[in-house]
Amino acid sequence: MNLKLEMQTRIAEIRARKTEIRSSLDTADNATLDLFSAEIGELDTELANLEKRMAILNSVSPATSATLPAIANPVSRAGKTQEINPEESYKTPEYRSAWIKTLQGKTLNEAEYRAYSTAADSAAPIIPETTANAIVKKMYEVSPILQRCKIYHVPGTFKFSVEDTRDEATLHTENAATTTANDNLRVVTLAGYEIIKIVSASAASTAMALSAFESYIVDALAEDIARKLENYIFNGNGTSEPGGVSTAGKGTGGAYIEGTDLLTVTAAPTEANVIAAYGMLGSGYERNAVWCMSKSTFFASYYSLMNKSKNNLIEFAGGKYYIMGAEVYFTGSLAAGVAYYGDFSYIFGNFSQDIVVEKSKESGFRNNAIDYRGTCVFDSKPIDKLGAFIKLVISTTAA
């Protein structure tokens, strides 16, 4: 094995580990801080020794680069020299393969090392663009309701203004004085809650092909994180966790009010019940509204209303079900008997930190396994009191 590549790979691992420690300082207790301090000292010493050895190696190998790669590094591609922009390096094929190999513990080649170290010097090694896109695609496949929400990717606390109260336009008499409308805005603040998923893989996974290993990580982490986010979109309280449609009503604290935006029935809803619930939705929101309920609730309590000879209340087309023309989204996050109808673009979410994947050999040592941890920081809130959602509950099967 090439000695220089071995040292380059180890230097990249040290930098990645130091970045990982930095990201954990905010939540570490005093005992953990002492361990981090000792580990940082050992890593700094090892890094200094490696850099010294690299300098000596370069001094006796004039044909190679005299210094370690810095923020901008040339990568030879098809006989041409191309500069790596630190902010763009995570989009390159070299960075993708370097990122996957680092998770697997494989040795990087020189081009991969340059791309990986450039990103590590500028910030924490982030998920390659193609892998990140695959994760988002997988999350939307698992939880399609996320596509209906307005999701942002703004670092830190995200604040924005939304409409609160709004007066109607008035008829104006020519030359008469005008009165300013009493329109108000309110500020919505999205902070962040850590969402974590850990998967264990056999040490043999390090021998997997890069694409196969990438698919494994994407499927294992994205699916479970997506299901957790979906649960918050439907059931989150918005105080100790991300908020969701359960607090999007017109009442105090986003509660739903019987007869206003809540309809409770004691048996499977009738055609009249569904029409009544549909009519409760605020004007204009039906354009993007969808129904959401569990699959068992739909087939046990709504499917029997399908009667094409009578009306088009329930329809099936293109592999999807529709209630009064609005698509039905099936979810396992809602209790039996609970259904929502509304415009989910009035639920706002923000990834203040996109998904980061890290590994640990130590935690799975006894089982000859490697643990991979996917972490993101997410918050969501519905815009309540607008009438953008209604709730239909069958009381005999739901609390």
| Domain locations in the chain as residue ranges | 3-124, 127-167+184-399
Predicted pLDDT of residue 70: 37
Residue with tokens 């009438």: 387
Predicted pLDDT of residue 65: 40
Predicted pLDDT of residue 2: 61
Predicted pLDDT of residue 81: 44
Domain 127-167+184-399 falls under CATH 2.40.50: no
Residues of the chain with pLDDT under 50: 1, 62-81, 122, 397-399
What is the pTM assigned to this prediction? 0.72
Predicted pLDDT of residue 309: 79
Predicted pLDDT of residue 73: 37
| Beta pairing, strands 347-360 & 369-382 | antiparallel
Q: What is the pLDDT of residues 270-311, one digit of tens each?
A: 999 999 999 999 999 999 999 999 999 999 999 999 988 788
Predicted pLDDT of residue 257: 96
Predicted pLDDT of residue 78: 42
Residues 60, 95: Cα–Cα separation, whole Å: 29
